[in-house]
A and B are shown apart, each in its own frame.
Chain A
């Protein structure tokens, strides 16, 4: 009885095959960027609304064609912008009882904003300004809002706004009617309303 053993498959070339595939995937891979600064555009309007705000409630940031930044008519460095925006938002300089801001920790400067709910940051950029400056400025201004929101969320719910937001995003889709989820949603909304992101970009001026 001759018993035949099946011949062993030669696996020596396995490495070569795998290498070939590996190189193919290495070459074709482009790691896609899937993060960004979220923003909302205002809906189109036919006639510009006359929105005269008290001048003290507007923090104007201008980026010129040489990529220099002017904040409230002062030349400013990018790294100081967040701080300036924060002290503007957090000022709480209102004196009348209706507008007074109980949670602000700012200097209550009478020339700066009355209440974070009224404070508007207006960003004007020259068409020649570079996109990287623009995005850095936007980033710094958004950071001012999120830092303040973090602080308030920490005070009210003992958790930062960022981590609350992360928790909301990672919530399983099927359990969105969980009471815990709705509570979290409500809390985020509350914090958001304490420091609403009133970041306005000027209508491009028609220059003909």
Chain B
């Protein structure tokens, strides 16, 4: 009997935290691998729409990104509340699109120039008008391969929110 009663007064043992570093390291490695440092700091709202007919973008070195959206609240004073274009890390007028694309293209390797792709990251709530203007500029710059960057998902859900 006494054999069983022995531990009656023992307290609840402390949780063994020896494996905690391992768990944390595992998470750490996941985030380290998944992290892509953002090149451009966004000054506009940029909520991408959903689509399910998407294709993978070309390699990063062949891609030129153009952002379109309303200026974020801190920049609204400076740039207004209608849609603007962000090239690189600053908001620019539409007439700069051609120069920007050409500069980017000239910086590319000879082989990549023909395969350059323009990724249009357009906020889902912006109006199409400005996008049409940008596309006209891209045509004049002979940057004809474009991609409407969007999150994989059901497009019908775009219209609900």
Asked whether any CB of chain B lies closer than 8 Å to the CB of A78, the reply is yes
Asked whether any CB of chain B lies closer than 8 Å to the CB of A134, the reply is yes
Interface size counted on chain B using CB atoms at 8 A: 59
B20, A29: Cβ atoms closer than 8 Å: no
Interface size counted on chain A using CB atoms at 8 A: 51
> How far, in angstroms, from A78 to B152 measured CA to CA in the complex?
18
Q: Who on chain B is nearest to A144 by CB? A: B53
Contact of B31 among A15, A26, A34, A126 (CB under 8 A): A26
Contact of B156 among A18, A42, A43, A79 (CB under 8 A): A79
Known: A26-B31, A37-B147, A132-B125. A127 touches B139 (CB 8 A): no
A112 → B minimal CB distance (Å): 23
Residues of B1-46 at the interface with A, using a CB-CB cut-off of 8 Å, are 17, 20-21, 24-25, 27-28, 31-32, 34-38
Identify which of B85-93, B106-114, B127-135 touches chain A.
Answer: B127-135
**What is the interface of chain B mostly: helix, strand, loop, or mixed?**
mixed
A43, B144: Cβ atoms closer than 8 Å: yes
> How far, in angstroms, from A42 to B124 measured CA to CA in the complex?
24
Contact of A29 among B31, B121, B145 (CB under 8 A): B31
Q: How many A-B residue pairs have CB under 8 A?
A: 165
- Knowing that A35-B149, A132-B159, A140-B155 touch, tell me 8 more A-B residue pairs with CB under 8 angstroms: A22-B31, A31-B36, A79-B156, A128-B129, A131-B123, A135-B51, A136-B159, A204-B132
Q: Mind listing 30 A-B residue pairs with CB under 8 Å?
A: A18-B28, A19-B24, A22-B28, A28-B37, A29-B35, A30-B38, A31-B36, A33-B150, A35-B57, A35-B151, A35-B152, A36-B51, A36-B147, A38-B117, A38-B145, A38-B147, A39-B148, A41-B146, A42-B144, A67-B159, A128-B128, A130-B124, A131-B125, A131-B127, A133-B158, A136-B49, A138-B148, A140-B155, A142-B53, A146-B53
Q: Chain B interface (Cβ within 8 Å of chain A)?
A: 17, 20-21, 24-25, 27-28, 31-32, 34-38, 48-49, 51-57, 68, 117, 119-129, 131-133, 135-136, 138-140, 142-152, 155-156, 158-159
- 6 nearest interchain CB pairs? A127-B129, A36-B147, A25-B31, A36-B149, A132-B124, A35-B54
